[in-house]
């Protein structure tokens, strides 16, 4: 297995919703987001920068009729320490 695939497999993601609730994820596929958050629909969330360029910053999860949507911002978790090789 290549190093990039192996490191992606071991990557953790931190999802923070608009209320500050934090959830650790092992992948950010649509299938996994639907399973973890019981989402009925998923839409990408974008934010414009000062130059007018749009950037994907997270996801909007629809919970179904009668429920409020969740806005998730997702971060990649990296360890605060690294192993030293000799």
62-73 pLDDT per residue, tens:
876 667 888 999
* % pLDDT > 70, the chain: 86
* % pLDDT > 90, the chain: 50
Identify whether 73 is part of a domain. Answer: yes
**Three-state secondary structure call for residue 7:** helix
Identify whether 2 is part of a domain. Answer: no
What CA–CA distance (Å, rounded) separates 26 from 4? 16
Identify whether 58 is part of a domain. Answer: yes
Mean pLDDT of the chain: 84
The domain containing residue 51 runs over which residues?
Answer: 13-77
Confidence bin at 21 (pLDDT 50/70/90):
very high
Identify whether 4 is part of a domain. Answer: no
Identify whether 84 is part of a domain. Answer: no
Q: What is the pTM of this model?
A: 0.72
25: which strand partners? 13
Handedness of CA 70, 31, 44, 63 (dihedral sign): negative
Q: In total, how many domains does the chain have?
A: 1
**Three-state secondary structure call for residue 60:** strand
Mean of pLDDT values over 52-79: 86
């Amino acid at each position: 297995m290549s190093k990039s695939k192996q490191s992606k497999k071991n990557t953790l993601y931190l999802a923070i919703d608009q209320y500050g609730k934090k959830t650790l994820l092992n992948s950010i596929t649509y299938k996994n987001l639907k399973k973890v958050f019981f989402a009925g629909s998923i839409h990408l969330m974008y934010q414009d920068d000062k130059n007018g360029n749009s950037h994907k910053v997270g996801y909007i999860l629809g919970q179904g009729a009668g429920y409020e949507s969740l806005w998730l911002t997702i971060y990649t978790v990296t360890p605060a320490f690294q192993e030293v090789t000799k």
